[in-house]
A and B are shown apart, each in its own frame.
Chain A
């Protein structure tokens, strides 16, 4: 059974960089069939897609966050990571990592991202001094 687990600091100071890692177990992050994504949810609010990455390193970012986001992959440790710079209180949220399996369901010319079928439990990151 595939499992994803987020890890990283739960408290980040304003203007600093938020860093999270997602460890994938029960499956290989290097599978050609999947992409891997980050999604966040402010307390009591809806979901926002942050970005996706392919095991080869290709990334796809939400334009609203693109200038501050970096997603990277470490295939040797079956992990991918999120860095969000210059954080403010508005970045306080539960951050989820997830597997994007939509590539199996669309024609090859349709570009990612797609949808998420496996999710981590989420980790709350609070931005506060």
Chain B
């Protein structure tokens, strides 16, 4: 199975700053079938990005995804207070689906 490693584990930033989150796969993710979720405490994950770079319905354009092969990035251009949360990547290029360990974006 594909192992996804997210870095950093925690990102401490201020509102208005740019956040760059990394997701590295143990082997190439077929067709860039990688997605990103946001999870806040006590809530279910929320789909942000699929297919490495396509925004899900209703997701603001400050969220963008990029990458291919084994290296993927989620960028939040200007952090808003609602964006402080944990972010997970997930690959669906091969079964079983696997998730990364998460990156926590916290207020500095």
**Which residues in A have some Cβ–Cβ distance to B below 8 Å?**
46-49, 60, 62-64, 96, 98, 102, 105-106, 110-111, 113-117, 119-122
Contacts and interface: CB of A to CB of B under 8 A. Distances in A.
Interface string B35-51: 10000000111110011
Given A105-B54, A114-B50, A121-B43, 12 more contacts: A46-B88, A46-B99, A49-B96, A60-B95, A64-B96, A105-B50, A110-B33, A111-B95, A113-B95, A115-B50, A115-B92, A121-B44
A26 B35 CA distance: 25
B90 A47 contact: yes
Given A102-B50, A105-B54, A115-B90, A47 B44 contact: no
Interface of B: 1, 31, 33, 35, 43-47, 50-51, 54, 56-57, 88, 90, 92, 95-102
A113 B92 contact: yes
B45 A119 contact: yes
Interface of A is mostly: loop
Contact of A117 (B47, B51, B97, B100): B47
A46 B97 contact: no
A47 B88 contact: yes
B95 A116 contact: no
Contacts of A96: 44-45
Nearest to B50: A115
B49 to A, nearest CB: 9
A47 B99 contact: yes
Contacts of B51: 105
Contacts of B102: 46
Nearest to B49: A115
8 contacts: A46-B88, A60-B95, A64-B96, A98-B44, A105-B50, A116-B47, A119-B44, A119-B46
